[in-house]
Structure 1
Amino acid sequence: MTRTTIKATVLAAMIGLSAAEIEAADYKQNPFTLTYGGALVKNEPGKVNLHSVTYKLNGLDIAANVYTPANYDAAKKYPTIVVAHPNGGVKEQVAGLYAQRLAGQGYIAITADAAYQGASGGQPRNVDKPANRIEDIHGMADFIARYPGVDAARLGLLGICGGGGYSLKAAQTDKRFQSIATLSMFNSGLVRRNGYRDSQVSTIQQRLQQASAARAQESAGGEVLYTGDATLTDEQIAKLPFDLYRQGFEYYGKTHAHPNSTFRYTLSSLLDLMSFDATDQIELIDKPLLMLAGSKADSLYMSEQAFAKATGTQDKKLFLIEGATHIETYWVPRYVDVAMDQLTAFYARTL
C-alpha cells in the first residue's frame, strides 16, 4: 500500500473572469443540461456519446446518463464504471465530467440522480438517507450490468464527495465491484453527527431532538421540514469558516449551478444520517482501493481516516493532488487531469 503526492500547478485567472467561470458550461445552453467545461453538446458517430435512460429501483423512476466510448459497438464487451455523485449534486455536474472523461478512456460509465433527488422519483423530495444512497449504487450496478456492451465481470466504482463515502459502504458487501475509487471522499454521517471538522459535537443531542420532532410532524401528516435551505450573500459566503463551504456555494450556486441540485434535505433524514459512518466495517472491502484527495482540502481528514481503517485490502493507495482543495478537484482542469491519470492507470490495472 502506498501514499503518493504529485505537483499540479494552479491555472492563472484570466482578466475579468474567474477560472471557474471559464471552465463551466451553462446548463441552459447545453442540450443535455450539463454544467461542466468540455461537456458534450451532441452525439456524433465515432465519438463519446451520452444516452439518457430511466429505470426502476424499488418502484421509483431513476434518471441516469450512460456515456459510451468512441466507436462504441454493442456487440463488444467494455469495462464499465459506476459513478456516484456528491451530496446535493446531480448527474450533470462533476459526476458527469468524470463519467465523460472515463468514456474517453474506453469505458462505459453511468451516473444517476439519487432517489428522491434530482430528476429521479420519490416523495417527499430531497430525502437524504444513507440507505437510499447506498441502494442507488447497487441499482446502478443492476441496470448497467444488463446494458449492451457491458462486461459485468469488469465493473468498477467511483464515488465523489458524499458519493465516495456511500461507495465505500456499498463496496463492503457488493462484490460485483472489482475495484473502488473515491475522489474527495466525504463521510456524510460523521459530518452530520459531529459537524464539519468536529465543529458541532456539543449540539448532537439538540439536533437529534429537532430531527425527531420533524419526523413526528411528518408522520402526523404535517409539513415536511427541511435543513440546508440557506441563501447567502457573497459577503456571507466569504466569511464561512471552511474552503469546502465557501467554494461549494460558488460551485453549486453559481459557476456550475443546475436547477435540480440543492443543499436542501429533509430534517428527518438526520435520524438516519447521524447514526451512519462510511468507515464502519470498511475492512470488508477486499478489492483494490484508490482514494484521491486534494492536498489542501479541509476534508482530507476523512479520506485519511477511511484509508487507515481499510485493512481488508493491501492493494490500496491514498493519492494527494498537490495544491487542490476539495471543490477544485471537481473542475480545475489541471487537477482533473491529475485525477484522471490516476484513475485511468488504476482501472486499467484492476479491470
Structure 2
Amino acid sequence: METVSIRNPGMYWDIAANIHFPPGFDAGKRYPAVVSNHPIGSCKEQTAGNVYGAALADAGFVVIVPDASFQGASGGEPRWTEDPEQRVKDYRDVIDYAQSLPYIDPDRIGILGICGGGGYSIKATIIDKRIKALVSITGVNFGRLMREGFSNFDPVGALEGMAAQRSAENSGEDERINIFLPPSVEAGKAAGITDIDVLEATDYYRNRCVAEGSGTRMLFSHAAPAMAWDAFAFAETLLTQPMMVVFGDKPGGFGAYRDGMEIYGRAASKDKELVVIKGWSHYDLYDKPEPAGLALEKLVPFFKAHLGGTTAASGLKAAE
C-alpha cells in the first residue's frame, strides 16, 4: 500500500489517499482500478480501505481510497465540513489522478461507496461517464437523511439554525461541531436511543474499528448545502452505467434499505443488480466477515465482468 497526496488544477489543498495494490503488482502492466469511498464521518483506513479496498486489491484491482476534503488526512478548511458537491468533486479529481498513472487503464475505472459514500458515488456516476461500473454498499442519500432524521424532520428550522450559527461564528463565537454518535453503546441506550443504525454505528466507530482520521462529526454552520442536495436526481435518464446495489434486510434509521430500493428502481441502467444480504444490518456490512464476504462474492465478479483483468502495458494482451 502507498499513501499519496493528490492535487489537481484549481484545488487549494491536497486529497490524501491510500493506494492498495494487487499481489505481485507489476508497474509495467495496466490494471483496472476502483475508487473506494468511505462513509460520512469515516476515513480511508476504515471499511472502504481495510475491508473492501483490501479485498478488491487481492482480487486484482488497483484500489484508490481517498479521505474526504476537510476530513481525515486531506486538506481543506474549515475542518469537518460535509459538502456533498465537494465530495463528488473529490472523486472526480481522484479519477483524474488515476488516469495519469501509467499502471492504470484510464478506460477501466469503477467506483464503490459505502453509506454516504455510496450516495456520493451514485451522483459521481450520474455525471461522469469515465466511471464504467458502480457498486453502492448500504448506500444512503445524504440529502434525504439531512432533510429527515438529521434535522429532526424540520429542515427549514435546521437551515435557520445554521444561518444563525454561521453569523455567530463570523462575529467571533466558537464553532459548533455536531457529533453524530454517543460516546458508547451503553451511553446511547441510557439516553433512550433504540435505533439499530445509531447503536451499531457507535459500536463500529467506538469499538470495532477506531481510527484517528475518523471524525463522526460535522461542522453545523457549513452543513446547509446538504439540505438541498439529492444523490439520485436525474438517475432515470443519466445513470446508465452497470450498477450493483448492496444492502442488508434489517432496516435502520439511516435509510439504506429504502434508498437502495429507490435507486435500483429509478436508475436508467440496463445492467443493474440488487443484492439484499438477508439477516444482516447496515453496519454489519462494514466489517463483519460473513456479510461483507457475501457482498464481496457478488461485487468482485461484477467488477471483473465490467472492468476486466490485468493487461500488458500496450493494453493489447490479457495477462494470465
Q: Map of 1:257-272 to 2, 5 A cutoff?
A: 257-272=210-225
The separation in 2 between residues aligned to 1:214 and 1:83, in whole angstroms, is: 33
The separation in 2 between residues aligned to 1:106 and 1:231, in whole angstroms, is: 39
1:193-251 deviations in whole A, cap 9, x for unaligned? 1116xx932x2222111111122234445432221266434433234232111010111
Instruction: Provide the TM-score with structure 1 as the length reference.
Output: 0.81
Corresponding letter in the other structure for 2:239: I
Question: What corresponds to 1:22 in structure 2?
Answer: none
Question: What corresponds to 1:328 in structure 2?
Answer: 284
Q: 1:181 aligns with which of 135, 153, 170?
A: 135
Per the alignment, in what secondary structure is the counterpart of residue 295 of structure 1?
strand
Q: Map of 1:34-73 to 2, 5 A cutoff?
A: 50-57=1-8, 58-73=11-26
Contact 2:6 2:94 in 1 (8 A): no
Contact 1:297 1:324 in 2 (8 A): no
How far the C-alpha of 1:262 sits from its partner, in A, is: 1.5
How far the C-alpha of 1:314 sits from its partner, in A, is: 1.6
Instruction: Provide the TM-score with structure 2 as the length reference.
Output: 0.89
The separation in 2 between residues aligned to 1:273 and 1:186, in whole angstroms, is: 13
Are residue 301 (structure 1) and residue 254 (structure 2) matched?
A: no
Question: What corresponds to 2:109 in structure 1?
Answer: 155
The separation in 2 between residues aligned to 1:256 and 1:307, in whole angstroms, is: 30
Contact 2:71 2:213 in 1 (8 A): yes
The separation in 2 between residues aligned to 1:211 and 1:175, in whole angstroms, is: 35
The separation in 2 between residues aligned to 1:144 and 1:221, in whole angstroms, is: 41
Q: Map of 1:267-278 to 2, 5 A cutoff?
A: 267-278=220-231
- State the percentage of identical aligned residues: 32
Root mean square deviation of aligned Cα: 1.6
Q: 1:165 aligns with which of 119, 122, 129?
A: 119
Question: What corresponds to 1:78 in structure 2?
Answer: 31
* Length, aligned pairs only: 298
Contact 2:112 2:118 in 1 (8 A): yes
Q: 1:230 to 1:176 in 2, by over 3 A?
A: closer
Point out where structure 1 has 5 or more consecutive residues left out of the alignment: 1-49
Q: Map of 1:210-249 to 2, 5 A cutoff?
A: 210-228=161-179, 231-238=182-189, 239-249=192-202
The separation in 2 between residues aligned to 1:98 and 1:105, in whole angstroms, is: 11
The separation in 2 between residues aligned to 1:139 and 1:94, in whole angstroms, is: 21
Corresponding letter in the other structure for 1:100: A
Point out where structure 2 has 5 or more consecutive residues left out of the alignment: 308-320
Per the alignment, in what secondary structure is the counterpart of residue 75 of structure 1?
coil
Q: 2:159 aligns with which of 199, 203, 208?
A: 208
How far the C-alpha of 1:82 sits from its partner, in A, is: 0.5
The separation in 1 between residues aligned to 2:193 and 2:93, in whole angstroms, is: 36
Contact 1:181 1:290 in 2 (8 A): yes
